[in-house]
Structure 1
Amino acid sequence: MSDLTSSPHQRQNILNNRYALQAAEQHLALGGTHFDGATVFTKQQVVALFNISDATVERYIASHGAELKANGYTLLRGKKLNEFKGLSDVTLINEGNKAPVLGVFSFRAVLNLAMLLTESERAKAVRSRLLDIVMDVLAERTGGHTKFINQRDDQYLMASFQEQSYRKQFTDALDQHIVANQWKYVRFTNLVYQSIFKESAAEYRKVLDLAAKDNLRDTMYSEVLTLIASYETGFAHELADESARLGRKLTMQEGEALFTKFQGHPMFRPLILDARTKMASRDLGFRDALHHKLEAYIQSIPEADFDRFLGETSKSLEERLSDPATLAVFKRLKDR
């Protein structure tokens, strides 16, 4: 995992994980003041907490103001400020009781600052403990199986089921419309993978450290599986049309040339961008797996994704398959 002080994406991944933040607030016991339904910290309290100077806090507010504000650093004015000053456990010294504006840090913003501070040993200790909490929460909510965290998404089963159907269309088309070649299934499957996420099957396996018995597609997110299915059914159609036009099977070279033309269709561009961003970002955040060829696509994991893969609606594949309602849906699909 990257050094939090230099990795804004990693910092935001922690701050967007409300399950980790709830555990951190309980276990870190950083103090603060209860105000307006939440815990907040004055600059004076932050200075004491991290054993730093007032000027150091101001420097980080100036250099990382947008990030800190996005995570709960706010300025109290007017009525809100007067209400805060009126709390019995609030003592303002350096900030001054007559100041018309007062900056306060939410608990989330304090953790944000702890992940930025390079001059504080106390902040370093908070970072270390916070990383432990994040890992503990992830392990607890996934049963320790982050390799298959993709399967906790309630969209995964449907995407996987549909992709298997389109995979059959794809392999049938390769059989029927491309000349016999023992490598054609591997070759054209890798062309699909490389077009979507720039990696061959072997490269993907290495990034995720998969065992030989692991099925690659069992680890893929629903959006990636759906895009693969679109490629497979679309290219199967193109193969059939081109074979009919020529009145014969295509050579491997002709098939590859057709695929090159097929993958260049503009309709794929936004879908590929979405798939690459989700794969690169989620795998780094949830699996600590870096797709080097997709580094440019890494973003912070949105809060909704933590609910999707760790929240109340997320379940293991075994739990979903034991649900009679889910089994009934798949039986209807199979009987169509």
Structure 2
Amino acid sequence: MNDLTVSNVERQNVLNNRYAVEALQDNLGFAGMLFEGEYRFTKKMVADFYEVDLSTINRYISQYEEELKYNGYFLCRGKLLKELKLQFGHVINEMTKTTQLGLFSFRAVLNMGMLLTESEKAKQVRAWILDIVISTINKRAGGGTKYINTRDMDFLPAAIEEDNYRKNFTTAVGKCVQGHKTFKYAQVTDLIYQAVFKEKAKEYRALLRLDKDDNVRRTLYAEVLRCISSFENGIGFAIEAEYKENGGEQLSLERVKELITEQEQSPAMQPFTYDARSKMASRDVAFRDVFHNNIAGYLRAVTPEEFDRFIGDKSIDFDEIMELPENKEVLKRLKQADDEE
């Protein structure tokens, strides 16, 4: 993870991960006021906790108001403020005539800790946050994140779909493209990978620290697999059509490269490639602590719903599901699928 004080995406990836936030709340030892079903904290409480002046907290609120409000900071007014004073007047120690009071949720407290550069306490909290986030993700992912993509219930249908389209693609390349059978599959596959997520298989392997026996496609998110499926299906069709049009003359690798570039730039394909790049760039930073420099421009914060899909109640144990008798043949197919790189 990058420096939390400078990266809004990194901060939001922490705050959108409710499993990590819950673990932090259980262990931070910062008691607030349980009000309206949620713990609340005044600006003075936050200033005291981080061992800074109240003026420092006010300055950061002014500078990062939108971000802090998004994560639970708000001005308590009217009837709500009256109820708060009745319950916690002895705690907040505010004048009776006060008409509004800034309150932090626990997420907003963490948010402030990820922003404060003047506070040694905040620096310690940031280090602790990173440890808790990493351990929480690893624990909920079953001990590692290399195959965290398979915990998404959409992965298996996408993998089966991709395997089917892959056969059409390899048949077209084998019959209609010049070159050594093994090498040309690897070369064309690399061209497609570069078109979809701007990395060759070798580069991707290095970033994810994959072993030589690891299948690249087993590590790809469902949306990336579907984009590759669409790409391979379209390219396979284009290769075979031109092969027939040329009277059975095989296409050169350079011509295939041109076809791939045309498809990458196609308005029909661009929404799929944008989505695939965004999902890969963003999720790999959040879940695998892997930064894809070539698609850094597509980076965004992972949503709370995505955390649920991969490490929450909506995630699945892929290995357990594949042990079911009806999935044995599917697993065999996926294991035997070529991974020409």
- What corresponds to 2:151 in structure 1? 152
Q: CA deviation at 1:90?
A: 4.2
SS in 2 for 1:122: helix
Q: Which aligned pairs between 1:167-182 and structure 2 lie closer than 5 A?
A: 167-182=166-181
Alpha carbons 1:84, 1:90 under 8 Å: kept: no
Identity of aligned residues (%): 43
CA distance in structure 2 between the partners assigned to 1:201 and 1:330 by the alignment:
24
TM-score (norm 1): 0.94
Indicate if the aligned counterparts of 1:160 and 1:225 stay in contact, CA closer than 8 A.
yes
CA deviation digits over 1:90-109, x for unaligned, max 9?
A: 4334x533111111000110
| In structure 1, C-alpha distance between the alignment counterparts of 2:64 and 2:329, rounded to whole Å | 49
The alignment's TM-score, normalised by the length of structure 2, stands at 0.92
Q: Equivalent residues in 2 for 1:100-179 (5 A)?
A: 100-179=99-178
CA drift at 1:151 = 0.6
What's the CA shift for 1:160? 0.8
* Partner amino acid, structure 2, of 1:129: W
Is the 2:81–2:100 Cα contact (8 Å) retained in structure 1? Answer: yes
Partner of 1:4: 4
Q: Distance in 1 between matches of 2:88 and 2:60?
A: 29
Alpha-carbon deviation of 1:165? Answer: 1.3
Large movers: runs of 4+ above 2 Å: 88-93, 179-183, 251-264, 326-331
Matched AA of 1:49: F
Indicate the residue corresponding to 1:26 in structure 2.
Answer: 26
Separation (CA, whole Å) in 2 of partners of 1:329 and 1:107: 48
Q: Which residue of 1 aligns with 2:211?
A: 211
User: Aligned pair 1:202/2:202, yes or no?
Assistant: yes
Gaps of 5+ in 1: none
CA apart distance, 1:253 = 2.5
Report the Cα distance in structure 2 between the residues aligned to 1:275 and 1:297, rounded to whole angstroms: 9
2:338 aligned partner: none
In structure 1, what is the Cα distance between the partners aligned to 2:97 and 2:52? 24
Q: CA deviation at 1:252?
A: 2.3
Q: Distance in 1 between matches of 2:288 and 2:328?
A: 32
Partner SS state of residue 10, structure 1? helix
CA deviation after TM superposition for structure 1 residue 251, in Å: 2.4
Distance in 2 (CA, whole Å) between partners of 1:28 and 1:52 is 18
Aligned residue type for 2:147: F
Count of matched residue positions in the alignment of Structure 1 and Structure 2: 331
How big is the shift at 1:267? 0.8
**For 1:41-72, what per-residue CA distance to the aligned partner results, in whole angstroms no more than 9, with x for missing partners?**
01121121111111001000000000000000
Partner of 2:282: 281
**Structure 1 residues 122, 150: CA separation in 2 closer, same or farther (over 3 Å shift)?**
same
1:193-233: per-residue Cα shift (whole Å, max 9, x none)?
Answer: 00011111111111111111111101100000011011111
Structure 2: distance between partners of 1:274 and 1:213: 28
Distance 1:254 1:38 in 2: 62
In structure 2, C-alpha distance between the alignment counterparts of 1:215 and 1:180, rounded to whole Å:
24
Within a 5 Å distance, the mapping from 1:179-198 to structure 2 comes to 179-182=178-181, 183-198=183-198
Describe how 1:173-322 pairs up with structure 2 within 5 A. 173-182=172-181, 183-248=183-248, 249-322=250-323
Q: Give the partner amino acid of 1:223.
A: E
Shift of 1:234: 1.0
Q: Does residue 57 of structure 2 align to residue 52 of structure 1?
A: no
Secondary structure of the structure 2 residue equivalent to 1:102: strand
Q: Distance in 1 between matches of 2:276 and 2:100?
A: 44
Question: Match of 2:104, SS?
Answer: strand
CA displacement at 1:313 relative to structure 2: 2.2
In 2, Cα distance between the equivalents of 1:191 and 1:76?
A: 56
Contact 1:171 1:185 in 2 (8 A): yes
- Distance change >3 Å, CA 70–CA 185, structure 1 → 2: same
Q: Aligned equivalents of 2:324 and 2:105: distance in 1?
A: 41
